[in-house]
A and B are shown apart, each in its own frame.
Chain A
């Protein structure tokens, strides 16, 4: 009931407020609600309300979260009402000071990252003080904070001190960044002594070429990453190489995404790779090419586990490899098609044991625009494998209109072993800042990934209602 009142307040009141003349500052807000009614009639829901107020250089806001019972696959400790994101900030073109809750990232995030991802149920916001400064010409900038990580503090029921600073210098084509982080450690008794980690990043960008290198050092661990990227008018490429050893942060305050490609097709993402924090070395290469309405994308990754992270300490062992080819063609103003091939092999034990799982995925995908408002999207997919659950097939249809509504049906069928169907049918409607969607489906248990980080999603059947509104 309270949630209903809250929703109606958010939806109706801005309309009533139209026509205010005086400068009271500006208010913006957003609401996201994801609920599932499961087949056993249990109801679970994750809800977020974010409000920000700004007047001149001053701003303030909060995020409120309400979980009557969190959705399956999310931490059940989230249950209840929370007000995690309260902050006050003062910002001008050069300075900013924030008190309260904030997010921050140093370098590529391997040293330190605080962020929110609602798909993962992840929010490791910091609570404390932060100040930033940058020169008018953007030549030099610096930031520093002293805060307590929200997640760790909730385990401990007391704050845990974390401080950090980062300085950046941009001179012409060169950029340099140095970061230092100090934090209290966690021991079985609670708060332990301070530890210091650091990182340095150097980059260069000339014409179509750019590159950056980062080194990260923390007690007992280190990481190096190199990115190269080159672009001409119709051809471009990107290469990322990374080595990391003992980079798992017990506080969860760093970002160690899988290097390999994230797939948008359902069968291609059945068995995603996740980073082996104990030690891995690998690279990922992308090639893009465009000619006469054709677009080509080739991506390949190879990731090994480091000998030091293996029980027998002998040699590098394959953890994951894949090769993905995508060909896109616009035939005319109405029809576009995509053909996609993904060849994957992963070692579920990160190279500790010999057994690997291989799968080849084939996808045909098309979008056709009818005269008028309607468009139809269709996909067929096939997964060929001799391991795990063997062969799969999948298909989907979606009809959408420029009036804002869309309906879809999809099915994923494991005909190689379990003979189980994973289906979904539903519709959505969007208008301006408002979006609502309702679907009924049977979801497979598996990893749900976002930004190279994954969470486990148990199997379920139910009706899913999603609401989104912002103003």
Chain B
């Protein structure tokens, strides 16, 4: 059995170039509606998808750093920032309160309450950012955060123009 799995993995990796799979995973919006990741693709601007949770200190650091320069960066190279909270439902009210008070203006918020998108995108630790071009093709990904990582991310966004 192990050998079979191994051969499937090996063979399939030969056949397919790596790509993220844009499933129609339902996510909760900040006003308790639903949306799917496919609605993020608008054919006009690239977008960043960033996974975070309430007690993830480095996630908050990274989102604060991006938020501080978000308005200036928009003038240089417009992009959208989608913060996907993968906390469980018990932290939902807290997460919603938090995003409003931290001053993350211009971000879009989505809530992956049973970690379906988290699993589909193979996110195992946070923060974890993905950069997609305007057509939804993944062009860059990064795990963890060290101050200054946001500038590298913005260089990648500028390269997409």
Contact = CB atoms under 8 A, between A and B. Distances in A.
A406 B144 CA distance: 10
A170 B88 contact: no
Interface in A86-128: 91-93, 96, 103-105, 107-109, 113, 115-116, 118
Contacts of A264: 55-57
Contacts of A81: 1-2
A6 interface: yes
Given A10-B13, A27-B19, A236-B97, A175 B32 contact: yes
B159 interface: no
B93 A227 contact: yes
Contacts of B124: 30, 32, 118, 468, 470
B32 A24 contact: no
Contact of B88 (A13, A25, A30, A451): A451
A50 B143 CA distance: 18
Interface string B134-156: 00000011111011110110000
Interface stretch (A51-59, A152-160, A384-392, A414-422): A51-59
A286 interface: yes
B58 to A, nearest CB: 9
B103 A290 contact: yes
B152 A402 contact: yes
Contacts of A288: 97-98, 100-102
A59 B23 contact: yes
A259 B91 CA distance: 9
B9 A10 contact: yes
Given A10-B13, A52-B21, A83-B1, A402 B125 contact: no
Nearest to B56: A264
Interface residues of B, number: 71
Specify which of B9, B96, B120 lies most central, judged by the most chain A CB atoms within 10 Å of its CB.
Answer: B9
Nearest to B116: A103
Interface stretch (A188-196, A341-349, A429-437): A429-437
B89 A109 contact: yes
Interface residues of A, number: 103
A229 B93 contact: yes
A290 B64 CA distance: 12
B101 to A, nearest CB: 4
Interface of B: 1-2, 5-6, 8-10, 12-24, 26, 31-36, 38, 54-57, 61, 64, 87-94, 96-98, 100-103, 113-116, 119-125, 140-144, 146-149, 151-152
Nearest to A336: B61
A105 B90 contact: no
A337 interface: no
B101 A290 contact: yes
B23 A54 contact: yes
B2 A203 contact: no
Contacts of B152: 402
A400 B146 contact: yes
A471 B18 contact: yes
Interface in A284-300: 286, 288-290, 295
A208 B101 CA distance: 11
Nearest to B88: A451
Interface centre among A20, A28, A83 (most CB of B within 10 A): A28
A255 B88 contact: yes
Contacts of B6: 2, 5-6, 9
Contact of B97 (A229, A330, A430): A229
A378 to B, nearest CB: 13
A469 B137 CA distance: 19
Interface stretch (A237-245, A350-358, A440-448, A455-463): A237-245
Contacts of B1: 81, 83
Given A30-B122, A103-B116, A229-B96, A109 B88 contact: yes
B17 A18 contact: yes
Contact of A28 (B19, B36, B38, B88): B19
B96 A373 contact: no
A127 to B, nearest CB: 16
Given A109-B88, A255-B88, A406 B93 contact: no
A468 B125 contact: yes
11 contacts: A9-B6, A20-B15, A25-B16, A28-B122, A29-B122, A30-B122, A105-B113, A264-B56, A367-B147, A375-B147, A406-B146
Given A26-B16, A205-B31, 7 more contacts: A53-B16, A262-B91, A288-B98, A401-B146, A430-B144, A433-B122, A470-B141
B97 A237 contact: yes
A207 to B, nearest CB: 9
B9 A49 contact: yes
